A and B are shown apart, each in its own frame.
Chain A
Amino acid sequence: MLDERLKKDHGKAFEAFESFMVGRYKEKGSLMDILSKAQELFGCIPEGIVVYISRVLVIPESQIYGVITFYPQFIAKEEA
């Protein structure tokens, strides 16, 4: 469900992100890397992507937002 919606909304950018996330299930210490990639691909870090990251890494969304909002380099934005 989530995958399909994200694919529809972001097209090629999501496909690139999906392949970047392959093999990262429960991977520790990679959040910074992943958020930088997402920021680069989408120009912001959309809500759906946060949910996606949270499911792959198995960490709470709140923790991800905690990191996103700390850095001015990351932009959290509602999906249009």
Chain B
Amino acid sequence: MVKIKSLKELEELRSEKSSSVKKIEAKEGQLILNDLGQQTIDSYIGSGGYEGLGMAIHTMKDNNVITIIKSSGLRGRGGSGFPTGSKWEAVAGADDSVKYVICNGNEGDPRINSDEMILREMPHKIIEAMVIAGYAVGSHKGYIYLPSESKEAVENLKAAICEAQEYGFLGENVFGSDFRFSIELFTGLAAFVAGEETAMMAVMEDGRPMPEQRPLYPSKKGLWGHPTLINNVETLANIPNIIAKGNEVFKSVGTSQSPETMLFSLGGRVAEPGIYELPLGTTLGQAIEAAGGVAEGKAFKAAQVGGPTGAFVVDLEVSLDFDTLEALGGMLGSGSIHVLDENDQILETAKFFMNYIVDSSCGKCSPCREGTKRMEELMGYILDGEATETDYEDLKEMAEVIKETSLCGLGQSAPDLVLSTIAHFEEEYTSRLKQEEAAEE
């Protein structure tokens, strides 16, 4: 197999391969989903793959790459929405000869599978992005963490890594340069909390998935004590496009604070549940329309945005981007939207997800371990009509305290369930309390 050494060789190979590529109809405004079904390296190169890597290595210095990522305004898609460029800069600035790049493919949320889909359908995109990341921050070793349950993704990635080595995109002399980079798969078991960066590294260091106190941040002291760059799958999937096509294209799509598109997983009571790629800043109503509207023509009641710990949103005009949702006391998270219709019970649903959080809590810090359990208990009392006004006040206060004192994102966002349902559906709580008091008298 001939190793590719320059952009010119890549160009020749692409024109050779492009005839064999089955053309996927490119849709307006789709940047990631247009590359669906490119599992093999031939089809990926045929549709413009590895161009970003070639450009990064042959035409840019490592700090130029970071400047481009920074100016693109790309933000982490895993949950917190942290600016990706700043993260890269911090790792690049860390002084250590050994650095790691980790691709976070742990999804946890049982209702969505957009990360798994990316790893399964376009493994080369992730490999390319990781090599670019390695080049930019000065790392030579990458890990892709994914749950062993997603078997097809594991198989496709293994094959893709071999192919990339054959073509010279991985290994000793990446793209004919003297930069070396290798990628290894790490398969863990599905666990919601393991998506937290420090918990994930604990698993990779043979421990329990428990988050660490910050600072120190992983960019200073990460895997085995070395500076580590951890990016979510979907974040990385955006990198090759940004490098190859420039960041200005992307800024035209989303809002000024959150550019680009994002994969939204729409579920619950929508006509066509699934993964939809929409520009950030799309309103909640438009997103539900994209999924065929509320199922069976029923009326919309609320939507839980941002995974099991996400807040309930009732306003269809809410813009789906990181800052708006944060201002509302929730988070965009990994972009999951669970829609409830007029017949759904808010309190029951909230308690159901609280139960999931109780199961997922790692148990390291007490606000989350004890607090989420107690919140679930109180919600149960309220549902059964056994709670008093004091219990309700306790629940509210507890939610505030847990939000402030929990160690990691799981505990910090879990109370959003309670706080957002109280904010929008207070009568669902209080009506149940009043009944109980009336019975006492």
Contact = CB atoms under 8 A, between A and B. Distances in A.
A32 B205 contact: no
A34 to B, nearest CB: 9
B207 A67 contact: yes
Interface string B129-157: 00000000000000000001000000000
A31 B206 contact: yes
Nearest to A36: B148
Contacts of A59: 206
Contact of A33 (B187, B208, B209, B362): B187
Given A29-B186, A32-B188, A33-B187, A70 B209 contact: yes
Contact of A66 (B148, B187, B207, B224): B207
Interface of A: 28-33, 36, 57, 59, 63, 66-67, 70-71, 73
Return the 10 tightest CB-CB contacts between A and B, nearest first.
A31-B206, A70-B208, A66-B208, A73-B189, A71-B189, A29-B204, A32-B188, A67-B208, A59-B206, A29-B206
A67 B186 CA distance: 16
Contact of A70 (B187, B191, B205): B191
Interface residues of B, number: 15
17 contacts: A28-B206, A28-B224, A29-B204, A32-B203, A32-B206, A33-B187, A36-B187, A36-B189, A63-B207, A66-B207, A66-B208, A67-B208, A70-B209, A70-B362, A71-B189, A71-B191, A73-B189
A8 to B, nearest CB: 29
A43 to B, nearest CB: 16
A63 to B, nearest CB: 7
A30 B143 CA distance: 13
Contacts, number: 35
A66 B206 CA distance: 10
A28 B205 contact: yes
A63 B208 CA distance: 8
A28 B206 CA distance: 7
A17 B268 CA distance: 43
Contacts of B362: 70
Interface of B: 148, 186-189, 191, 203-209, 224, 362
B130 to A, nearest CB: 18
A39 B290 CA distance: 43
A40 to B, nearest CB: 11
A63 B206 contact: yes
Interface centre among B186, B189, B224, B362 (most CB of A within 10 A): B189
Given A29-B186, A67-B208, A70-B362, 16 more contacts: A28-B205, A29-B204, A29-B205, A30-B206, A32-B187, A32-B189, A32-B203, A33-B187, A36-B148, A36-B187, A59-B206, A63-B206, A63-B207, A67-B206, A67-B207, A71-B191
Contacts of B206: 28-32, 57, 59, 63, 67
Contacts of A30: 206
A32 B208 CA distance: 10
Contacts of A67: 206-208
Contacts of A28: 205-206, 224
Contacts of B189: 32, 36, 71, 73
Contacts of A66: 207-208
Nearest to B191: A71
A18 B94 CA distance: 41
Nearest to B190: A73
A7 to B, nearest CB: 26
Contacts of A33: 187
A33 B147 CA distance: 11
Nearest to B204: A29
A33 B206 CA distance: 10
A32 B148 CA distance: 10
Contacts of A63: 206-207
B191 to A, nearest CB: 7
A11 to B, nearest CB: 26
Contacts of B203: 32
Nearest to A68: B208
A71 B189 CA distance: 8
A22 to B, nearest CB: 19
A33 B187 CA distance: 7
A33 B205 CA distance: 12
A28 B207 CA distance: 11
A29 B201 CA distance: 10
Nearest to B224: A28
A59 B362 CA distance: 22
A67 B209 CA distance: 8
Contacts of A29: 186, 204-206
B211 to A, nearest CB: 13
